[in-house]
Amino acid sequence: MPRRSLVPAAAIASAGLLLTGCVPEAGGEAVVVETADAPPGDAIALPAASVDDAVTGALAQLSDLIADDLAETGVPGLAVAVVHGGEIVYAEGFGVKTAGEGDPIDPETVFQIASVSKSLSATAVSAAIGQGALTWETPVSDLLPGFALSDPYVTEHATVGDFFSHRTGLDTGAGDDLEDLGYGREYILDHLDMLPLDAFRSSYHYSNYGITVGAEAAAAAVGEPWEDVTESLVYEPLGMTRTSSRYEDFLAEDDRATIHAFVDGRFQPLFDRDPDAQAPAGGVSSNVIDLAAWMNAVLAGGEHGGEQVFDAAALTAATTGEMISGHPPEATWRTSMYGFGFNVDTTVGGRTGIAHSGGFVLGAATNFRLIPSLDLGIVTLTNGGPYGLPEAVNAQFLDLVQYGDLTRDWITDYRAAVASLTAPVGDLVDEQAPSAPDAPRDLADYEGIYENAYFGPLTVSERDGRLVVAMGADDGYVLELRHWDGDAFAFVPTGENAPEGSLSSATFVQDAGDVTGVTLQFFDTQGLGTWSR
């Protein structure tokens, strides 16, 4: 049942609201309104006679909708689970684990769930809060005394909740570039103090490593590694035996889905994605059966099997709005909110929705959505990169439950909404190479080691008449430079943050005729992309 706040009857009267079952429309017909204890809990009634009837009717159409969605998008496969009234009322797999092979997906198939991990992490913190280890208001500096951001005030005052609600001022993508270079969690968190900050607590910037900082602080409060915290406080109590925050556990699963990136117009199994560095934000693997148990616990206010697994007050704080995550472009639009690790919004019918999406450009897309007033939840896990499919499946099902029919073409709309995630990046995208470029220097003049305090050293060497760059952890990130014009070269960046078609420049810096540095534009979004020697 939804949490309801009591307000004085005088306040209700002053708002001009009548607690009747119907509100007349301009045309004279009535819209049935389900009234709660106070107006903020009111919602448009379902068209079906009961919630159970509405869910049953929607479930009867769900499998056919999914089959059509898979055919339209070309995603290799997915799994879906629906919970209602504390039970799993639907759990099915569709398609195959790997494109071109026949092994089918089933409800037990394990997927990488990407940023849906953030919501699981928030429930782990809620459980730790229930044990008295910390609160959402605990300053991270109390728990991680060696951690710092670029602003001393923010370093001292930013709380666990600030990091979990993306309001510390860290920019979207902060630290993601270091992960692409193969660096681990410790290195990345140690270098966040070099990044500029936006306004503290009044700016919203979605941040994987912001969430990771908050989770590491909670782990310090509990006194265990984060991966053990989630195991002991979430997965074990809920019986989530196929869920882990470690990539090696995902690889050990026999029944697991392969990730597929959208390349050359189709989904292909080209990459692996090890998200251990940001495990609290995107590193969980699970299946829809386990996630159904978790959704039921969230809908039950943190209870499972008669035990209070997550602190109820901490969970309520996490699943209600803390920050505006999407400012409406006009007054007629509803506002999107973010709690602590959960998206929070209002449906067309006036019901609170709780959700999160996840996506790896390298080949995964996921979404869950809860409607607490209906005691209803759905989760969809796919093995194709961001294409809007899991969000569309869940929206279609919830349309059928709440309104009796689909309200719009969700596949088309969500595909457009996520298109920017897979758009090529880099300053040379769509640029034509000069037809008569200036010649480069002798390639030996560019060779050498260049230093950068944020990204670490970079080595330029000549191989078979071309320049090659080696950088990152153990020099494992390798780029080939193709001459562009004069001291400028082009390279194709790789990794999670470099969708197909990305192309960037590497421009060597000279002083008094000598090469003294190189700027890689792809890595210069924060002004830190110049290496010097």
List, for residues 146-187, the tens digit of each pLDDT value. 999 999 999 999 999 999 999 999 999 999 999 999 999 999
pLDDT, averaged across the chain: 95
Burial class (CB in 10 A: 0-12, 13-18, 19+), 517: middle
Q: Is residue 435 included in any domain, yes or no?
A: no
Record the tokens describing residue 282, joined without a space: 């995107």
Together in a domain, 112 and 69: yes
- Position 223: which residue type? G
Q: Is residue 129 included in any domain, yes or no?
A: yes
Q: Which DSSP letter does residue 346 get?
A: E
For residue range 428-452, what is the model confidence (pLDDT) as tens digits?
A: 999 999 999 999 999 999 999 999 9
Residue 13: which pLDDT band, with cuts at 50, 70 and 90? very low
Together in a domain, 35 and 112: no
118: number of CA atoms within 13 Å, CB side? 35
Beta partners for residue 463, in sequence order: 466
Residue where a domain terminates, one of 388, 422, 456: 422
Together in a domain, 15 and 55: no
Together in a domain, 169 and 258: yes
Q: Is residue 436 included in any domain, yes or no?
A: no
pLDDT for res 30:
84
For residue range 211-251, what is the model confidence (pLDDT) as tens digits?
A: 999 999 999 999 999 999 999 999 999 999 999 999 999 99
187: helix, coil or strand? Answer: helix
pLDDT for res 8:
31
Together in a domain, 405 and 457: no
Cβ 444 vs Cβ 466: under 8 Å: no
CATH number for the domain spanning 400: value is 3.40.710.10
Q: Is residue 434 included in any domain, yes or no?
A: no
Q: Is residue 1 included in any domain, yes or no?
A: no
pLDDT for res 31:
86
Q: Is residue 284 included in any domain, yes or no?
A: yes
Residue 298: which pLDDT band, with cuts at 50, 70 and 90? very high
Judge if pTM exceeds 0.75: yes
For residue range 94-105, what is the model confidence (pLDDT) as tens digits?
A: 999 999 999 999
Cβ 212 vs Cβ 278: under 8 Å: yes
Q: Is residue 433 included in any domain, yes or no?
A: no
CATH number for the domain spanning 512: value is 2.40.128.600
Together in a domain, 25 and 60: no
Domain that holds residue 25: 9-44
Together in a domain, 34 and 59: no
Record the tokens describing residue 76, joined without a space: 């290799």
Domain count, the chain: 3
Residue where a domain terminates, one of 422, 455, 473: 422
Residue 27: which pLDDT band, with cuts at 50, 70 and 90? low
Residue 28: which pLDDT band, with cuts at 50, 70 and 90? low
Together in a domain, 261 and 244: yes
Residue 29: which pLDDT band, with cuts at 50, 70 and 90? confident
Phi, psi of 507 (to 5 degrees): -115, 120
Together in a domain, 213 and 167: yes
Residue 32: which pLDDT band, with cuts at 50, 70 and 90? very high
Q: Is residue 437 included in any domain, yes or no?
A: no
Higher per-residue pLDDT: 57 or 6: 57
> What's the rounded Cα separation, in Å, for the pair 367 and 358?
6
Closest CA to 270 of 364, 182, 173: 364
> What's the rounded Cα separation, in Å, for the pair 119 and 284?
11
Together in a domain, 27 and 61: no
pLDDT score of 255 more than 90: yes
- Taking phi over 0 as left and psi of -120 to 50 as alpha, with beta for the rest, 427 belongs to alpha
For residue range 257-280, what is the model confidence (pLDDT) as tens digits?
A: 999 999 999 999 999 999 999 999
Together in a domain, 118 and 233: yes
Burial class (CB in 10 A: 0-12, 13-18, 19+), 76: buried
Together in a domain, 265 and 376: yes
> What's the rounded Cα separation, in Å, for the pair 170 and 167?
8
For residue range 305-348, what is the model confidence (pLDDT) as tens digits?
A: 999 999 999 999 999 999 999 899 999 999 999 999 999 999 99
For residue range 380-424, what is the model confidence (pLDDT) as tens digits?
A: 999 999 999 999 999 999 999 999 999 999 999 999 999 999 999
